[in-house]
Amino acid sequence: MRLFGIETEYGITRDDVAEVDPVVESMELVRAHLEASFKRRWDYAGEDPHEDARGFRVSGLQQDREEDEFATRDAHRPFSFHDMKSDLVLPNGARFYNDHTHPEYSTPECRTLKDLVAQDRAGERVLLRAAQRRNKVLGGDHVRLYKNNTDFHGHSYGCHDNYLVARSIPFPNLVAGLVPFLVSRQVIAGAGKVGTEAQESGYVPGRYQLSQRADFMEAELGVDTMHNRPILNTRDEPHADREKYRRLHLIIGDANMCEYATALKVGTTQLVLDLIERGAAPVCELDHPVTAVKQLSRDPDLKTVVTLRDGRKLSALDIQELFCESASRIFSGTDEEIDWLLREWSEALSLLSQDRSRLVGKLDWVTKQWLLESFMREEQIGWDDPWLASLDLEYHNVHPEQGLYLGLEAEGKAWRMTTDEAIEEAMWNGPTDTRGGLRGLCVQRFPDQIKSMQWERIQFTGGIRSRSLDMGDLFDPKEVRECAHIFQVASSPSDALAAWSHRKDRAI
């Protein structure tokens, strides 16, 4: 089952005030997207962060206390919880809302890497246009947005990749197969970072490292996402039929600017999940994964080796090559996209050890390192110069005239999987073969007849009986397209639901 998506929390600030209230600014940014008043539609009933995939429910999370403190402070604000969240579903099926201190854009569910990258890039444009509207109100170009994962003051915000996984796969198998892959994945998916940090402690200028999130990993497994962050998040929130599926919600990943890195990050992870499902993942469990993720991140020369439980000592490239070789042996020839992915994965790992300059514009940490080292030579400064942290931040600025990465892209120095036209299209339409696109279609066609929405269900207004479209098991692309066609031609949600119910009855 290939279905994935990316949730990105953006850093937000203003340059015209001494102190920014990120809660208010994030809310105002999301509201700036609207052309009408905010209407509460998002249904939180399907969200329970206390359910653990290891088969139990935790009584409390470390972040609960922080949420309570937020609630106390927010009680004095002149708006309700739902007003503050301003949870929107966009015409492409994406979710755009205020995740308390950060604007967050969640792509609709995607089935292909090309769709995923376009939808992820569409998120950058959605936020940019919202910022432009907000700046008109403020009277200047004051709001700045960063697609990164640290504020360089000990606070990290996430970029979460999500995968639909069969619940029949034993969770211990996912742990054994995924943890070493995720610890080493930063060699292809790291966003790069100057200096080091730790949770809510000071930033220390210094040498370059591969990942922005590695500093903040504190546990191998766990359900907390804001404190004691785990390499493998065990939150069990399937947003689908719980008897059949899990949603693997990974919080270790960096936010990528490079389209190539985004495609490799998600594509290789999906292949590793396929390997685990077949019982074909290489055996390479790490002795100390939390220590290893930091050690590997802090060595841009990629020479560091970590110890496995069977005594072997391998580098991050060694581990990635084991997974790449296993996937190539089993999945070569499956389809055009997988063949592309296997070829590029192998090529990237080879270039990292031989000629990484050919990965500038493809991998973020390589691209950023090349930019910063060019600047350091020109200005004759070292890695401990605080100037570099500000340049690091501007690499991720989503404004095309301010962002260093987007500047490279405009000069034709970044590899593209999408086009500007494809990104614009993705802002208005979701994938046609997933429920994400269907969700967006309902927003386009019946915006005033939607009572509530969540990932797996849409509740429509009117009538005595409940009128809802249940998408908890709607993953077959043919079925999705048939359902979408019904909603495309129906004159009302009621007619569409009746036709869809009739079609399903005939199929039994």
Catalytic residue among 99, 224, 274, 433: 99
Say which residues have a Cβ less than 8 Å from residue 137's Cβ, sequence separation at least 6: 32
How do residues 456-500 score in pLDDT, each as one tens digit? 999 999 765 558 999 999 999 999 999 999 999 999 999 999 999
Question: Is 115 among the residues known to form the active site?
Answer: no
Question: Are residues 316 and 187 in contact, defined by beta-carbon separation less than 8 angstroms?
Answer: yes
Q: Which residues contact 367 (CB under 8 A, 6 or more apart)?
A: 192, 257, 258, 359, 360, 361, 405, 408, 414
What integer pLDDT is reported at residue 287 of this predicted model? 97
Q: Which residues contact 258 (CB under 8 A, 6 or more apart)?
A: 361, 362, 363, 364, 367, 405, 414, 415
pLDDT at 4 over 90: yes
Are 429 and 440 a contacting pair, CB within 8 Å?
Answer: yes
Band of residue 63 on the pLDDT scale cut at 50, 70, 90: low
Dihedral class, residue 267 (left if φ above 0, else alpha if ψ from -120 to 50, else beta): alpha
For 273-299, write each residue's pLDDT tens digit: 999 999 999 999 999 999 999 999 999
- Compare 177 and 199 and report the one with higher pLDDT: 177
pLDDT tens sequence across 16-52: 999 999 999 999 999 999 998 999 999 998 788 889 9
pTM, entire model? 0.96
Arithmetic mean of pLDDT over the chain:
94
Note the pLDDT tens digit of each residue in 100-155. Answer: 899 999 999 999 999 999 999 999 999 999 999 999 999 999 999 999 999 999 99
Query: Is the model more confident about 71 or about 298?
Result: 298
Segment 344-348 shows an average pLDDT of: 98
DSSP 255: P
Report the residue count for the chain.
508
Name residue 130's amino acid.
A
More confident residue, 73 or 52: 52
* Contact status, residue 396 vs residue 257, Cβ threshold 8 Å: yes
Q: Determine the Cα–Cα distance for residues 382 and 375; give it in Å rounded to an integer.
A: 10
Cβ within 8 Å of residue 62, ≥6 positions away: 224, 226, 227, 228
What proportion of the chain, given as a percentage, has pLDDT over 90?
Answer: 86
The fraction of the chain above a pLDDT of 70, given in percent, is 97
